[in-house]
Structure formats: C-alpha cells, structure tokens
Homo-oligomer: A and B are copies of this chain.
C-alpha cells in the first residue's frame, strides 16, 4: 500500500486495526524512507509469465501467469550500513507461534544471510492478543531444528524473553527500528 497516511484516516488506521500486518509494515517502511531512516521494501511476489498480449495503442496485458514459490523472505533493505532481512507472520494462537507458518526455504535463506552477517528477524503478530514482537531469526532456527523431536511451535514465553515487543503507534504505525538497534547491539556483543 503506497498511499500516504491522511489525518482523517487516523482513527481508522490507528492501532493498525483493519489493516493486515503486511500493510502495517509497508506503511511503516514508506514512512522510514520518507524520513530517510532506512530503505526497506517488500519484495514483489514472483510470477511465472506464460502469455502476454500486446494490444495496439495500449500497454501489455499478461493473460496467463502463475504464482511461484518465493525463494527468500518478505522484506529486505539497508539501515545504517546494515543489511536487514525479515519475514512478517501472524497467528491467532495465544500461547505459541506455530512453525508451520514458515517454509523451509525461508529458514534456509535466514541461515545464508546470517552467515553473511545480515540482521535477520521475524515480525510476529499475535492477532488475538494484539501483541507484536520482533524476534531474532536465531530463535526460529533453534526451534526449527528441534521440531523433529516434538515441539512444533515457539512458546510465547520464549518470544517475550528473546524478542522485543513492538508497540502500535501513529507515525510510523509499527516502529521496529528501535528493536533492530537492540538486536544489532546484542549481535555485536556475541561476536
């Protein structure tokens, strides 16, 4: 969603209510770009194009195409010299975040980016609780690797302990760069 926030819409938009997590993050990223705080975009959905018509005097029309599996995560970009890479996910669960919301290729992509010292995380929304967390990708990787042994979700208690809770606001709607600063600090301490 590319339109700027209008003051008249603020009571609708405030609290992110009625918007998807993706819209909330996209609006936040637009704000960050306008304020020159970070340059982060959602990647377009990859499409396999099979047939295109070129009507005279008007623009090309795609007439047959298919959705392809994305090989990476939703978002990436640059912030103060750092490469950021993240995935946005929501659940209606109240006590844990299901691993089935993630795909093998996303987990693999996080591993590859972490190996290159990227800053990798997920933004998780617990819709029923209306709580948001920025969670280091390393926590996802830990539970992902253990899941053959049983547990198929990340407990909320663990997310609270390891992640950073985000607050819904007005401008930006979901200010997550403060949490990114904390994650970067923590990552540097572990180096």
Give A residues with C-beta under 8 Å from B. 33, 36, 38-39, 41, 43-47, 59-67, 71-72, 76-83, 85, 109, 112-113, 115-118
Contact = CB atoms under 8 A, between A and B. Distances in A.
A24 to B, nearest CB: 19
14 contacts: A36-B115, A39-B115, A39-B118, A43-B43, A44-B46, A44-B47, A45-B47, A59-B67, A61-B66, A62-B62, A62-B64, A76-B77, A81-B83, A81-B117
A41 B59 CA distance: 28
A64 B63 contact: yes
Nearest to A48: B62
Contacts of A115: 36, 39
Task: Point out which of A64, A83, A109 has the most chain B C-beta atoms below 10 A from its C-beta.
Answer: A83
A96 B43 CA distance: 33
A112 B36 contact: yes
A67 B62 contact: yes
Contacts of A72: 41
A135 to B, nearest CB: 19
Contacts of A71: 41
A165 B66 CA distance: 39
Contacts of A116: 38-39, 78-81
